[in-house]
Amino acid sequence: MSTSVKTEDSMILAAKTVAENHIESGMIVGLGSGSASSKFAASLGELVKRGQLKDIAIVPSSMQAWLLAEHNSLTLYSDSAHCPDSLDAAVDGADQISLRTRSMIKGGGGALLREKIILSASKHSYILVDSSKVTENLDRSIPVEVVQFAVNSVHERIKSEFNAEPVLRVLEKGYPFFTESGNVILDCRNFDSIEEPSQLELSLKSVPGVVEVGIFNCKVDKFYVGGQNGSYESH
């Protein structure tokens, strides 16, 4: 069996563990976007179909998450256009995590704003990643969601004040990528190793026109890390 298949198996096993051990009947659950969330949605859907869980309500972080819930016959929260003031649990993936600081970089799919709202509003949160996304210090490109009106001014502020290289995210044919809230994303590269992610998050959010930053310092109950041997670790 190839390493990639074993890693995939480990992620499926981790998603199943979260669904079985951390989700209870009657819960309101925030669902993230991406491949890890799709595995969790499938596991949760199976438990609901078998009658092991009942009255689960899903708050989706994106249209993709909404479709995941629908595909797996999961009931959407009655007012899915709005995040409730409190969710029982949230499950999501990440582009990179630091176990040292328990921080993350997210937003590769463009749903960082709603994902952060959901994670921040949840009593408990669980993150699913494969081992290639684990690092000592965060060091990859940081998505920054920006209102269209301020894209040029934010670009210059980040370039001059943070010594980074902001690049407007575009689609395959060169059209700008727009988030579901109608904003654009600057993928900011060439940051040094991020030893204090909470401080960088606050500094970037202080730039006028920045809506949200893809550095996440929300409380995470457990990181489930899928390995190349078909098993996972929790941290």
115 annotated active-site: yes
> How many structural domains does the chain have?
2
Residues 106-149 pLDDT 10s: 999 999 999 999 999 999 999 999 999 999 999 999 999 999 99
Residue 35 phi, psi dihedral angles, 5° rounding: -70, -40
Q: 24 with 110, same domain?
A: yes
Active-site option among 115, 145, 201, 212: 115
User: How sure is the predictor about 231, in pLDDT bands with cuts at 50, 70 and 90?
Assistant: very high
Asked whether residue 26 falls in the same domain as residue 108, the answer is yes
Whether the predicted pLDDT of 1 surpasses 80? no
For residues 156 and 80, membership in a common domain is answered with no
**Distance between CA atoms of 40 and 19, rounded to whole angstroms?**
7
Question: What are the pLDDT digits (tens) for 31-71?
Answer: 999 999 999 999 999 999 999 999 999 999 999 999 999 99
Residue 149 lies in domain: 142-213
Q: Which residues contact 99 (CB under 8 A, 6 or more apart)?
A: 134, 136, 223, 235
CATH of the domain at 101: 3.40.50.1360
Q: Are 214 and 234 in contact (CB under 8 A)?
A: no
Each residue's pLDDT tens digit, 5-40: 889 999 999 999 999 999 999 999 999 999 999 999
Residues 153 and 123 in one domain: no
- 48 and 82 in a single domain? The answer is yes
Same domain, 96 and 192: no
Residues 37 and 77 in one domain: yes
pLDDT of residue 190: 85
Domain with residue 155: its CATH number is: 3.30.70.260
Q: What pTM did the predictor assign?
A: 0.95
CA distance 32 to 192: 28
| Pair 79, 39 in one domain | yes
What are the beta bridge partners of residue 215? Answer: 105
Q: Are residues 121 and 17 in the same domain?
A: yes
Q: 209 and 221, same structural domain?
A: no
Do 25 and 119 belong to one domain? yes
One domain, residues 149 and 175: yes
Task: Describe the strand order of the beta sheet including 142-146 as a list of residue ranges.
Answer: 165-168, 184-189, 142-146, 210-213
